[in-house]
Amino acid sequence: MEAGTLTPPRPEVVVRGLREEPGGWLSWLTTTDHKKIGLLYLFSTFIFFIVGGVEALIMRIQLAQPNGTLLPGETYNALVTMHGTTMIFLFVVPVLAGFGNYMIPLMIGARDMAFPRLNALSFWLLLFGGMVFYTSIFFDPPQAGWTMYTPLSDDAFSSTGGVDAWILLIHLTGLSSLLGAINFVATIHNMRARGMSWGRMPLFVWAILIYSYLLIAALPSVAAAVTMLLTDRHFGTDFFDPTGGGDPLLWQHLFWFFGHPEVYIMVLPSFGIISEVIPVFSRKPIFGYKAIAASTVAIAFLGMLVWAHHMFATPTSTVVLAFFMLSSFTIAVPTGVKIFNWIATLWKGQIVFKTAMMYAVAVPALFVVGGISGVLLAIFPVDWQLTDTYFVVAHLHYVLFGGSVFGIFAGLYYWFPKMSGRLMSEGLGKLSFWTMFVGFNMTFLIQHSAGLSGMPRRIYTYSDQLHVSGYNLVSTIGSFILGIGVLITVINVLVSMRSGRKAGNDPWQGNTLEWFTQSPPPENNFDVVPRVRSVEPMKDIRREVERANQPAGSVAQPVASGT
């Protein structure tokens, strides 16, 4: 630059105090990126899934034969409690929040969740909730079952700190879910791409929205209940203590007012996942989009009105029992509507059996069994025979494992390429699916018979006179096959993360916006958010790209003239 020449002053952007983004493991601790938080959720919850699964296998070894001697009653009850609590509060509910975290902003064309820091807080509350709970195994783990019925969980009968650890777990994970739910609601209501009206929102987004509303409606009840239990245990109140004028049934009402919606909290997002996967691999649009979305809302609403069907054997008047039988019946209708619509989506499709699709199709196939046993359980005189037996154990596993977990695995196989940029091994995937499918049915189908023969749930041992020894042995063998099946998927994830084939942006020819961006998506998700014109924006985009790529004039097509 020559001296003496006048140069006009140029505006400069000077930034002070901008720290470099932390790299390495620190980036995971400090992140507010919804994708990293989503991965943290998925990774932590799968660890809890493995831990809960090992607990189940130990129980199955104990029950493989009558009069098993591996575990004393105290340890067995602790395992019952840890297994149920882990699977519900530390796996199924938060793993769905993990998928929601990763996918919701991508599917609605947003750059992050509405409140990124709150999002990070949700995850860390969950993790610390889990850690507080698991620390109790070094002292005295809780032994009163995941339902923590009073007075058994009260200080007179469970004086050690295990129940308190459980109460803190409920508070921490509850807060985590509540904040997460508020975040999902705010995000879905406000941050959808231009053109994405309610009728064009992907069904998984619908499911997460309803999941969030259900959490907001149901969690306060259990939060209140566990606080009352805490004060009963330590500060001399008698909410649930009959000797002081309280009522143990109050606990059951407050707990199940949360506990039954919790079932739908766990299963609706899984239904949402397969409502995405089934049409993509059938090469057909979802059949009855509005019916599926409406049935999600209907199930959530009715799900708030059925809680006392868990209490049919308690001293309760017949009118009340009849009401809860009828309300439970009505839920079968929207659930049936969903299943019929999925089958109608498959009907006359061109079904491509990738692993994700196999897990997705297994969901209606297995959920039907849980739905049917659910109707039997809803008939309260019949429930008097079935409740609190292995029939219920079988039912709830068909609903939660067959319904939720198979759907979660469908989501894992479906979205893994988007999250990692690599495809999972189809061979290992299919092996894992069939092993899990066979193992699952072997474990749980036969438990119906054990329950019908008179085997109550949550017993650490049983008599040979009960004639359930054969059933239990088959169930135990099945549980190990199921465990191997899960292990194969874990290996598949670890191997494919390093050496899977490159996936590209859209390996499945998906319908929704997450397939528009790169795999894995950049930090801002999208440089340009496309305008949404239908419920399947990616189909529109692919069609447009195809049209643009066609050499001009090769096909005589009417060109829309600007009028």
- Tell me which residues in 155-214 interact with other proteins (CB under 8 A): 156-157
User: Quick one: which of 47, 118, 216, 368 contacts other proteins (CB under 8 A)?
Assistant: 368
CB of 485 to other proteins, least distance (A): 20
Closer residue to other proteins in complex, CB, 211/289: 289
For this structure, is 295 an active site residue?
Answer: no
Name the E strands within 190-329: none
Q: Of 29, 137, 352, 545, which lies in the binding site for other proteins, with binding defined by CB under 8 A? A: 352
- 31 versus 469: smaller Cβ distance to other proteins: 469
Is position 546 annotated as part of the catalytic site?
no
410: which residues sit within 8 A by CB, 6+ positions away?
273, 274, 277, 356, 357, 359, 360, 363
- Least distance between other proteins and beta carbon 397 (Å): 17
Please give the full DSSP string across 61-117, using - where no structure is assigned.
HHHSSTT--SS-HHHHHHHHHHHHHIIIIIIIHHHHHHHHHHHHHHHHT-SS-S-HH
Q: Which of residues 421-480 bind other proteins (CB under 8 A)?
A: 448-449, 452-454, 456-463, 465
DSSP conformation letters of 107-149: HHT-SS-S-HHHHHHHHHHHHHHHHHHHHGGGS----STTTT-
Which of residues 32, 65, 160, 330 is near other proteins by CB under 8 A? 330
338 catalytic, yes or no? yes
Which residues lie across from 456 on neighbouring strands? 389
* In the complex, least distance from residue 416 CB atom to other proteins, rounded to whole angstroms: 21
DSSP bridge partners of 389: 456
Catalytic site residue 213? no
Please state the closest distance from residue 123 (CB atom) to other proteins, in A. 32
Q: Which of 81, 153, 275, 519 is catalytic?
A: 275
Return d(Cα 298, Cα 303) in angstroms, integer: 8
**Catalytic residue check, 475:** no
Kindly tell me which of 220 and 456 has the beta carbon lying closer to other proteins.
Answer: 456
CB of 143 to other proteins, least distance (A): 7
Q: Which of 50, 297, 375, 428 binds other proteins (CB under 8 A)?
A: 375
Q: Which of 133, 184, 287, 359 is close enough to bind other proteins by CB under 8 A? A: 287
Q: For residues 500 and 235, what is the distance between their CA atoms, to the nearest angstrom?
A: 57
Options 314, 473, 481, 487; binder of other proteins; rule CB under 8 A: 314
5 belongs to the catalytic site: no
Instruction: Supply the minimum distance, in Å, between the C-beta of residue 177 and other proteins.
Output: 26
Q: Provide Rg for the chain, Cα atoms.
A: 26
Instruction: Give me the least distance between CB of 37 and other proteins, in Å please.
Output: 35
Residue 386 interacting with other proteins (CB under 8 A): yes
**Active-site residue, 282 included:** no
Contacts of 416 (CB under 8 A, 6+ apart): 422, 423, 424, 493, 496
The answer to whether the CB of 437 falls within 8 A of the CB of 405 is no
Q: Cis ω on the peptide bond leading into residue 364 (within 30° of 0)?
A: no
**Rounded to the nearest whole angstrom, what is the least distance from the CB of residue 316 to other proteins in the complex?**
9
For other proteins, the closer of residues 518 and 534 by Cβ is 534
**365, 431, 477, 481: which one contacts other proteins (CB under 8 A)?**
365
Question: Which residue(s) pair with 502 in the sheet?
Answer: 422
Q: How far apart are CA 232 and CA 333, in angstroms?
A: 41
Ranges of H-type helices in 137-247: 162-190, 203-234
Catalytic residue among 45, 136, 173, 176: 176
* Position 134 contacts other proteins (CB under 8 A): no
Question: Which 16-45 positions form the footprint of other proteins (CB under 8 A)?
Answer: none
- Site for other proteins contains 151 (CB under 8 A): yes
Residue 252 or 489: the one with the smaller Cβ distance to other proteins is 252
Nearest CB to other proteins, comparing residues 46 and 367 = 367
Nearer to other proteins, 204 or 240 (CB): 240
Q: Is 326 in the site for other proteins (CB under 8 A)?
A: yes
Among 187, 282, 355, 489, binds other proteins (CB under 8 A): 282
Contact 77, 166 (CB under 8 A): no
Residue burial 337-360, b: 16+ Cβ < 10 Å; e: rest: bbbebbeebbeebebeebbbbbbb
Contact 312, 380 (CB under 8 A): yes
Residues in 51-80 at the binding interface with other proteins, rule: CB under 8 A? 72-74, 77, 80
Task: Report the C-alpha gap between 527 and 506 in whole angstroms.
Answer: 17
3-state secondary structure of 502: strand
Q: Would you please indicate which residues are annotated as catalytic (active-site) residues?
A: 83, 112, 146, 176-177, 260, 262, 264, 275, 309-310, 335, 338, 457
